[in-house]
Amino acid sequence: MPVKKDKNGKYLVRIDRQGIPRKNKTFDDKVEAEIFERQYIAKYKDIQQQNLDNRTLRELVESWFIYHGINLSDGERRKTKLLYACAELGNPIAQQLTPEKFVQYRYKKTSTGVDRITAKTFNNIHGYLNAVYHKLHKLKVIDYNCPISEIDFIKIQERQLSYLNRAQIDTLMESILSGCVNKSTWYVAQICVRTGARWGEAESLTRKQLHDGKITFEFTKSKKTRTVPLDSSFYYQLILHAGNRTPDQRLFDNCISAFRRSVARTDLQLPKGQMTHILRHTFASHFIMNGGNILTLQRILGHSDITMTMRYAHLSPDHLMDAVAYNPLADE
């Protein structure tokens, strides 16, 4: 606040600014008071500048990976995406990243250029960056809050998840059987459709993960094991395929490329980004349509949040049927 003259004719300096120790002092001369005020503020601004965390955004990402990211199942992938974003943002001082700069970056990535990305992909990057700041603040590695936490994510129109009907499943499996040299492809695809497993979970199975008519999936996205039973005839086929493998030997060869070629030999039009994940959606969708319980499905799929599983709830035979019974024209 400006220097003021008090009732005694003295000039009062009252300094009350965030980050600077409060100070009240009186002077006989106004010029002397103003000089003191300027010098006092300048002194503590210099101290603040010296204490400023000058680590770059890239350095924060590297610290995040050491303290937390390395323990995530997709930590390496996140780190790669984060470092790429750091470079595109110009690798600013992490504390000085502003909402305006980030929103400008978002516009550039989602609206311009030949390499623009989808809103969903950018929301993932936004979420990853938020998580870096929040985790490091929680661990006391930084003492400031996330500078972009108040920026809203891009709203995305929710779409119904695609799945294969029984005829399409048969078409796909026939294409695999008739055209694949890699025999693992059929088994992996069958496991995904029968259990809702992710392709990588099924493809990397070892002999010890088959037991008592069930499959136990390890090294999952949630880092929790889950066990799913199989019908006896298919389980018997898997046991025959496993043969004399030792407990830690893999059951299948890498076969995702063979699966893609199998799809290409059919007239199936799969949504972008769902080449193998469509099998997981297919299991979940049919499970609910056949009357399965949503909480049971959550456990089978290994979702840590029921919100993810609820995407399939609308496929339940009695989903929201009260809309038929209780709508205004229900008695006509």
Question: How many CB atoms within 10 Å of residue 176?
Answer: 25
Q: Which two tokens stand for residue 33?
A: 């008071």
Among residues 198, 226, 281, 286, the one annotated as catalytic is 198
Among residues 101, 221, 245, 261, the one annotated as catalytic is 221
Distances (CA, A) of 251 to 187, 208, 243, 269, 276: 9, 10, 9, 30, 19
Q: Is 221 a catalytic residue?
A: yes
Q: Using alpha carbons, select from 287, 274, 293 the residue that is nearest to residue 120.
A: 274
Q: Is 314 a catalytic residue?
A: no
Task: Judge contact between 64 and 129, C-beta under 8 A.
Answer: no
Among residues 68, 245, 265, 277, the one annotated as catalytic is 277
Among residues 79, 106, 135, 280, the one annotated as catalytic is 280
Among residues 11, 128, 187, 312, the one annotated as catalytic is 312
Task: List, in sequence order, every residue forming a beta bridge with 24; answer none if it has no partner.
Answer: 14
**b/e sequence 300-325, b meaning 16+ C-beta within 10 Å:** bbbbeeeeebebbeebbeeeeeeeee
Among residues 245, 303, 311, 319, the one annotated as catalytic is 303
Annotated catalytic sites, by residue? 198, 221, 277, 280, 303, 312
